[in-house]
Amino acid sequence: MTSLPTYGFDELCALVELPARTVRYYIQMGLVDRPDGLNRGAKYTTRHVEQLLSIVKWQGAGLSLERIRELLYGNVETVPPKRQVPGSIEVWSRLLVASGIELNVEAGASGLSPEELRTFFTKVLGAYQEAKNIKGEGSGDE
C-alpha cells in the first residue's frame, strides 16, 4: 500500500505560491483544514493543496472569502440569503430575451462562473426561439 504524499508547512506554502502568513490566516479562518498532527509533526496533504489552490482560483475570479467558504463547505442552496442593507453592492446580469421578457441574475448568489452564465443565457434565448417556432407552427399562420 502506497501512502499519500505529505508536506511540511514551508513546502505547502511553496507548492501553492502563497506567503506563510496568508496560509495561516486561511487555516485560522477555517477555509483550509487544520494539519494532520501538531506542532513540528504537522503534515499537510494534497487535500490542503487543493483547498488552497481553489481559494487562489476563486479569489482571482473576484469572489470574497465569505463566498469561498460557502463554496468549499456550505451547501449553497441551504445558505440563508443575505439581508440587503443600505450601501450593499450586488452585481447583476440582465438578459433581454424579447420585448417584455427579461431575465435578471445576481452573479454572486447564482454560483455560476461567467462562462456558465453565458451558456445559460444562450440556452434561454434558444428555448425562447424554440417556443416561438412551436407556437408559429401550430397556429396555422403559414
State residue 136's pLDDT score. Answer: 65
Summarize pLDDT for 48-70 with one digit per residue, the tens: 999 899 899 888 888 888 888 88
**For 84-97, what is the mean pLDDT?**
80
37 domain residue, yes or no: yes
State residue 79's pLDDT score. Answer: 44
Q: Which domain holds residue 73?
A: 9-77
Neighbours of 41 (CB within 10 A): 9
Whether 105 and 63 map to the same domain: the answer is no
For residue 45, the SS3 value is coil
2 domain residue, yes or no: no
